[in-house]
Structure 1
Amino acid sequence: MTDHRKYKMPPEWHPHVGTQLHWPSNRNTWPGKRLQRVEQVYLNIIEILHRFERIHLFIEEQALGHARSLMENRSIDFSQVTIHEYPINDVWARDCGPIFVLKDNSERQEIAITDWEYNAWGGKYPPFDADNNLPAYIADYYDIPRFEPQMVLEGGAIETNGHGMLLTTESVLLNPNRNPDLSRKEVEQRLKDYLGIQKIIWLKEGLAGDDTDGHIDDLARFLNKDTILAMTVDDPEDVNYDVLQRNLEILYKSTDQEGNSFQIETLPLPQTRIKGTTVDGSEHVPASYANFYIANGVVLMPVYDDPADQQAISLMDRNFPDREVVGIQCSDLVWGQGAIHCITQPWYGLS
């Protein structure tokens, strides 16, 4: 039997073999004309991303012809897109997709899939059974070893530098709607055992309007093994001010497993208050520049028609000089409660 403790989760900048995306088709998430608008965001992402790496696009049967037609109109190269006809529940590939782990030996790099339980952020949006079954489907389809930690975990709730460190939030992983029977120590041990983690930095809470209960990928991300990007706001009256200040203080005091401090980069949060409300009644959306995606040769950066957009792109240009940084307009996407990082899941090691 393969020992899961010999594997570790790579950082997102590790070379990918592809990116998992789910074509939007859930009318509850995207009512009325919002579905058409978010389809255009997807086409913008696919048009850029497929130039750099293969896309594994999961599409429900009834949406397949329509999606193909839209992509053909954009001159998408289908030799770079693998289409999986699959009954997905929604678009959030980051949270329900397989989390790949790698093991290095002298001859080749071995891969496996960690198959965590997915319950749509505490059972908020049923049904979610098809999405929960995705890691098993992918492992079987590609004949990849699969580990089952027996714990609810979404990919957007964790962030690693690939060198033993992991960022997460108490408001998600210690929330009773995830793993009510597991203690903090037990949660930490499973993360260490299945993802090759040595030390965990716990931030507190997430953004207003974030129905995930506070995913880390809207708050703080590693830019490299020693540098963390943290979101901030300057206005003490802002609904997110106190939360982000507390999280920033934790990051400034944090060290890696050898006691070294991190370099902290900051960006101002874009405007999160919207006109009207989202489907779940919130007046705020979790708009964040931290929800970027690092792919092979490119960083896809969410932008929101905000004065800070260019500042965010410039920071990424500076930190990823070997990658093209492309801004993707995400105001329509984030209305559904997520942005680029939330809808992408990197795959590693497949031929």
Structure 2
Amino acid sequence: MARMKRFTDLDPTPHALGFAMPPEWGPHEATWMGWPADDELWFGHLVGVRDEYAALVRTIARFERVELLVRDEESEQDARRRLTGLNVRFHRCALDDSWLRDSGPLFVVRGAKDPEVALVDWRFNAWGGKFDWQHDDAVPGYVANFLGMARWTRPEVLEGGGLEIAGDGSGLTTRSCFLTPTRNPGLTEEGYAPLLRDFLGVQHLLWLDGGLENDHTDGHIDTITRFVPGDVIVTSVEGDPGDPNFRVMRRNLALLREMRGPQGRPYHIVELPLPARRLEGAEGRLPPTYANFYVGNGFVVVPQYGDPNDKRAVDVLRPLFPGREVIGLSSRRIIEGGGSFHCLTQQQPAGRTWSGD
């Protein structure tokens, strides 16, 4: 592994050095993922989860390299059996779980031509201490060391699924997630603004109130509302007034219609249906959503649940991503763990690794 620099509070911030987090639809060097390994965490559905997960990896690897973390010999053998010959690089790395969107690093980029890439290593505590997290919290350090990439380490808890980035300085999150006392006690909306500006380049932070019922992330933004190119926001809506998600989604929609971008222009709001059928899991209602799509080099993968709204959701998203193949893949077993494709992936932007020298 190459040498890299670890920045502290005494060093310049990414923003001070010209770095910012780019939007997901920018060019990727690779996608980082972690192979599912714990049958108990998947409520006895690990075999089916791995089937769907392998299909996701195979799809992404058609378009860009997948950097796949495997936690032990059994995981590596199973993954290699399914994925040998694909554009996948395997890494033996201790893991608690597979949600790299939240436990993995957030990459920042400097420069448009010949960009340089570094990363920010936020603290991860499994959504407020709900599960084991010590191994997952070390993932950004592993990635930085493997790539020889400079990293800023932060004491604050921040999960990638809790923050949407538009690329124009805008960010979008939820109060139900960011303001929980089990993450960063005492950190207010006003306190998040300079923190996200200094370390991710977010100049214009927007807030919604909450997310889906029974979402163990406390309402991650990536399960309900997403930026897409061109001053567009796609947001989940619930058509059944009797569903507990109806009121929250309607409130979010009203807030989004009042929001303005950094230049004072309103966003174009596109409504995305939630699945029509209620899904139940081992711990009650599951939070299936089509908003947990993942955008990569030339593609968008959209979770499907065997639901009447599956095709409708793909049809809504396809025109928002011209030039990309919009692909529906099954996530019926994966959702048993509480998340889907976006939660399982973390993009590494294209560019030269910056070591901090």
Does TM, scored on the shorter chain, surpass 0.5?
A: yes
TM-score (normalizing by structure 2): 0.92
Counterpart residue type for residue 40 of structure 2 = N
Stretches of structure 1 that go unaligned for 5 or more consecutive residues are: none
For 1:124-149, what per-residue CA distance to the aligned partner results, in whole angstroms no more than 9, with x for missing partners?
002x1111111111111211110123
Aligned to 1:70: 82
Pick the aligned partner of 1:122 from 99, 122, 128.
128
Structure 1 pair 272–137 and aligned structure 2 pair: CA distance change class (3 A): farther
Structure 1 pair 225–195 and aligned structure 2 pair: CA distance change class (3 A): farther
Aligned to 1:113: 119
Question: Aligned residue pairs: how many?
Answer: 339
SS of structure 2 residue aligned to 1:148: strand
Question: How large is the RMSD of aligned CA atoms in angstroms?
Answer: 1.4
Aligned to 2:61: 50
Contact 1:52 1:296 in 2 (8 A): yes
- Counterpart Cα distance in 2 of 1:121 and 1:219: 17
- Counterpart Cα distance in 2 of 1:272 and 1:135: 37
Aligned to 2:28: 16
CA apart distance, 1:316: 2.0
Stretches of structure 2 that go unaligned for 5 or more consecutive residues are: 1-10, 353-357
CA apart distance, 1:65: 1.2
- Counterpart Cα distance in 2 of 1:267 and 1:10: 24
- Counterpart Cα distance in 1 of 2:230 and 2:191: 25
- Counterpart Cα distance in 2 of 1:272 and 1:243: 18
Whether 2:212 is the aligned partner of 1:212: answer no
CA apart distance, 1:350: 5.0
- Counterpart Cα distance in 1 of 2:181 and 2:110: 32
SS of structure 2 residue aligned to 1:17: strand
- Counterpart Cα distance in 1 of 2:58 and 2:237: 31
SS of structure 1 residue aligned to 2:190: helix
Highest RCO, 1 vs 2 (Cα 8 Å, sep ≥ 6): 2
For 1:157-187, what per-residue CA distance to the aligned partner results, in whole angstroms no more than 9, with x for missing partners?
0001110111100001111010003222112
Aligned to 2:330: 329
- Counterpart Cα distance in 1 of 2:277 and 2:193: 31
Contact 1:267 1:312 in 2 (8 A): yes
Whether 2:107 is the aligned partner of 1:100: answer yes
Runs of 4+ with >6 A deviation: none
- Counterpart Cα distance in 2 of 1:17 and 1:320: 19
- Counterpart Cα distance in 2 of 1:247 and 1:99: 26
Counterpart residue type for residue 50 of structure 2 = E
SS of structure 2 residue aligned to 1:335: helix
Counterpart residue type for residue 278 of structure 2 = R
Pick the aligned partner of 2:50 from 36, 39, 42.
39
- Counterpart Cα distance in 2 of 1:46 and 1:119: 26
Aligned to 2:42: 30
Aligned to 1:344: 345
Aligned to 2:229: 224
- Counterpart Cα distance in 2 of 1:144 and 1:212: 29
Contact 2:13 2:198 in 1 (8 A): no
- Counterpart Cα distance in 2 of 1:46 and 1:54: 9
- Counterpart Cα distance in 2 of 1:292 and 1:130: 26
Aligned to 2:248: 243
Whether 2:279 is the aligned partner of 1:274: answer yes
- Counterpart Cα distance in 2 of 1:201 and 1:243: 16
Contact 1:272 1:286 in 2 (8 A): no
More strand by share: 2
- Counterpart Cα distance in 2 of 1:212 and 1:53: 28
Counterpart residue type for residue 106 of structure 2 = I
